[in-house]
C-alpha cells in the first residue's frame, strides 16, 4: 500500500493538550487489522463523528480539553491546571515562580522538546493513529506523517471539479459515505449481478403508441397514483440492490393493480434471507432469480419481516430464513411462520406474475410506466454517482486523468418512477428520468435522482423490467 511521508518537527511551545484527535489506542488499532470488508462498527462510529452534511470534508477535529495539572506554589505537583495563556506551560521546576517570571516578562526555563508531527497546521503525538476520511495516518517516531493512499468514496477534489465544471448536477458529501473507500462503495452499496446472456436475450414486450398518441412532457407515478408509490428504503452496507429494487417495484405494482386494496411495502429481507438459489444475499444477486421467487414463493411485508440492517461480515453466516409458505391452490400461497417482528401478526404473502422485459426505446418505457406503474432498471454506477446531490445526472469525465483505481464502476438496479425535461441556459432541452435509489432519503433528491433520458446513460435503458401484481377478487376486500 502506498504511503505518503511528511517530515515535520514538534514545536517546543506545543503541549499534548493542543494536538488534534487523540490516538485511538489499542482498541482502534485492533479494528484495523485484517480489514478486507466494510468498516467495522467501532471504526464507523469514529468516522461518523467526523462526518458532516456539507460539501467540505472535515479534518480530524481537536479533542475535548483535558484538565492538566501544574506545579503548586512550592513547585510540587498539585494545584489547578492553568487557565490563562500565560499559565499554559508547566516546565519542570516551574510552579508559581515560573508564572511570576513570565508575567514580569522574564524568560523561564526552556521546555523540553517532545516528538510529534505537524499536519495541516495541527500537532499530533508520536505513534498516534488517526483517520483522515478513509485513510489511516500515523505519526512515526522521527516526525514522519504517513498515510494510506486509498481513493475515498467521498472525494473533495472530485466534488470541486464537478461543481466547477457545469455538468448539470451538484455533487457533495453524503455523510453516510464518509470514511469508506471507493472500493467499499462499489462492493457494498450496489449488489446487482449483471444478467446472463440467456436472460438478456429474453423476448422484449413491445408497446406501440396509437395513431396520433402523444406522451406528456412530464409524468410522475406518485401524482397519478397518490399513496400507492412508496418511498425509498436504505440498503446500508448490504450489497443487496437486487432485492431492494425488486421489492420496491413489486410494492408499487401490487398496490396499483389491486386498486389500492393492498398497499404493502414488501420485504427486501425476505428476499435476502430466503431467496438463496444462485443468490448471495448481501453479497449480490440476480434480478431474474428475485422475480422467480416473488412469483413462486412470495414475500411478506417489510413491517412483518424488517430489514436487519446487518452489515456484511466476511466471517459471519448470513441471517437464516425466518419466513416460509405453502401452496393453497390456484398458485396462491400462505405463510407457515409467524412474522419475525413479534409485534406484527399480519403475515400475508404477496406474489406477482412472471416479469417481462421492455424494449429499450424511451417511448416504450414511458408508455409502460404511465399505464402500469414504475419499472425496474439496471444501471452502471460510476465513482461520481455516489456524490450526487441534485440536478440531472450524467457520468462526468473528471476522473479520466487520474489512475485507474480512481475510476471504478459496478452494476446496480433502481426503480424508475417518471420523466420530465428542462430547458438549459443555451436553449437546449434536457430530457430526464426520475428514479428512486435505495440509499435512504438523505441521499440525492430525497432518496431519488434524475438522469439523462433517451441516451442510455449508464445503461439505464438497456435492461428494463415490468411485472403485474398477482391480485384475485378475494384480495380486493379483506386487506
Alpha helices in 301-413 (DSSP H): 362-372
103 to each of 11, 80, 97, 245, 470, how far by Cα in Å? 22, 18, 10, 69, 85
Q: In the annotation, is 412 catalytic?
A: yes
Quote the CA–CA distance of 83 and 105 in Å, as a whole number.
18
Reduced to 3 states, what is the DSSP secondary structure of residue 364?
Answer: helix
For residue 107, the cross-strand partners are: none
Q: Cα–Cα distance between 40 and 314 in angstroms, integer?
A: 11
How does strand 448-452 pair with strand 332-335?
unpaired
The one-character DSSP state at 352 is B
Length of the chain: 479
Integer angstrom CA distances of residue 306 from 234, 341, 393: 12, 7, 31
Residue 5's nearest CA partner among 113, 115, 141 is 141
Instruction: Check 257, 395, 437, 448 and give the catalytic one.
Output: 437
Identify any residues that bridge with 332 across adjacent strands, giving them in sequence order: 329
Asked if 230 contacts 265 with a C-beta cutoff of 8 angstroms, the reply is yes
Do 224 and 370 touch, CB atoms closer than 8 A?
yes
Query: CA 434, 439, 443, 446 torsion: positive or negative?
Result: positive
> How many Cα neighbours within 13 Å face the side chain of 61?
12
d(CA 105, CA 363): 83
User: DSSP secondary structure string, 63-131?
Assistant: PPPPP---B-TTSSB-SPPP-SGGG----TT-HHHHHHHHHTT---PPPPP--EEEETTEEEETT-EEE
Say if CB 211 and CB 428 are below 8 A apart: no
Strand, coil or helix: what is 469?
strand
> Are 369 and 375 contacting, i.e. CB atoms less than 8 angstroms apart?
yes
> Quick one: DSSP state of residue 156?
H
Cβ atoms 408, 190 nearer than 8 A: no
Choice among 119, 286, 395, 412 that is catalytic:
412
Among 355, 376, 351, smallest CA distance to 295 is for 351
Question: Angle at the Cα of 327 (from 323 to 330), degrees rounded to 5?
Answer: 135
CB 468 within 8 A of CB 294: no
Please give the positions annotated as active site.
412, 437
Amino acid at each position: 500500500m502506498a504511503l505518503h511521508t511528511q517530515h515535520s518537527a514538534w514545536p517546543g511551545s506545543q503541549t499534548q493538550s493542543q494536538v488534534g484527535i487523540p490516538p485511538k489506542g489499542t482498541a482502534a488499532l485492533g479494528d484495523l487489522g485484517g480489514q478486507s470488508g466494510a468498516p467495522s462498527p467501532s471504526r464507523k462510529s469514529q468516522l461518523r463523528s467526523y462526518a458532516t452534511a456539507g460539501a467540505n470534508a472535515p479534518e480530524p477535529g481537536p479533542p475535548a480539553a483535558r484538565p492538566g495539572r501544574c506545579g503548586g506554589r512550592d513547585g510540587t505537583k498539585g494545584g489547578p491546571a492553568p487557565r490563562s495563556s500565560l499559565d499554559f506551560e508547566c516546565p519542570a521546576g516551574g510552579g508559581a515562580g515560573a508564572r511570576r517570571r513570565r508575567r514580569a516578562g522574564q524568560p523561564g526555563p526552556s521546555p523540553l522538546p517532545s516528538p510529534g508531527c505537524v499536519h495541516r497546521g495541527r500537532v499530533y503525538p508520536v505513534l498516534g493513529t488517526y483517520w483522515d476520511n478513509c485513510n489511516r495516518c500515523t505519526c512515526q517516531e522521527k516526525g514522519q506523517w504517513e498515510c494510506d493512499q486509498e481513493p475515498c468514496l467521498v472525494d473533495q477534489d472530485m466534488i470541486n471539479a464537478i461543481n466547477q465544471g457545469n455538468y448539470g448536477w451538484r455533487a457533495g458529501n453524503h455523510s453516510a459515505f464518509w470514511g469508506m473507500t471507493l472500493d467499499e462503495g462499489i462492493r457494498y452499496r450496489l449488489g446487482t449481478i449483471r444478467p446472463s446472456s440467456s436472460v438478456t436475450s429474453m423476448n422484449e414486450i413491445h408497446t406501440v403508441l396509437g395513431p396520433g398518441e402523444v406522451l406528456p412532457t412530464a409524468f410522475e407515478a406518485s401524482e397519478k397514483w397518490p399513496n400507492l408509490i412508496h418511498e425509498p428504503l436504505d440498503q446500508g452496507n448490504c450489497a443487496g440492490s437486487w432485492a431492494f429494487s425488486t421489492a420496491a417495484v413489486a410494492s408499487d405494482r401490487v398496490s396499483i393493480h389491486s386498486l389500492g386494496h393492498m398497499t404493502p411495502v414488501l420485504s427486501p429481507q425476505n428476499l435476502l434471507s430466503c431467496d438463496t438459489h444462485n443468490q448471495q444475499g448481501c453479497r449480490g444477486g440476480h434480478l431474474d432469480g428475485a422475480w422467480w421467487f416473488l412469483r413462486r414463493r412470495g414475500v411478506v411485508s417489510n413491517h412483518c419481516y424488517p430489514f436487519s440492517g446487518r452489515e456484511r461480515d466476511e466471517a459471519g453466516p448470513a441471517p437464516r430464513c425466518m419466513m416460509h409458505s405453502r401452496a393453497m391452490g390456484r398458485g396462491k400461497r400462505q405463510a407457515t411462520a409467524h412474522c419475525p417482528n413479534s409485534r406484527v401478526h399480519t403475515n400475508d404473502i404477496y406474489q406477482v406474475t412472471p416479469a417481462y422485459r421492455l424494449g429499450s426505446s424511451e417511448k416504450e418505457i414511458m408508455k409502460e410506466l404511465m399505464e402500469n406503474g414504475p419499472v425496474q432498471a439496471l444501471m452502471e454506477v460510476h465513482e461520481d454517482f455516489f456524490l450526487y446531490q441534485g440536478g440531472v445526472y450524467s457520468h462526468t469525465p473528471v476522473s479520466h486523468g487520474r489512475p485507474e483505481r480512481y475510476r471504478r464502476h459496478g452494476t446496480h438496479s433502481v426503480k424508475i418512477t417518471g420523466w420530465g425535461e428542462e430547458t438549459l441556459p443555451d436553449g437546449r432541452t434536457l430530457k430526464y428520468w426520475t428514479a428512486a435509489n435505495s440509499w435512504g432519503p438523505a441521499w440525492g433528491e430525497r432518496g431519488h435522482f434524475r438522469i439523462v433520458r433517451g441516451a442510455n446513460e449508464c445503461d439505464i435503458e438497456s435492461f428494463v423490467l415490468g411485472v403485474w401484481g398477482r391480485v384475485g377478487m378475494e384480495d380486493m376486500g379483506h386487506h
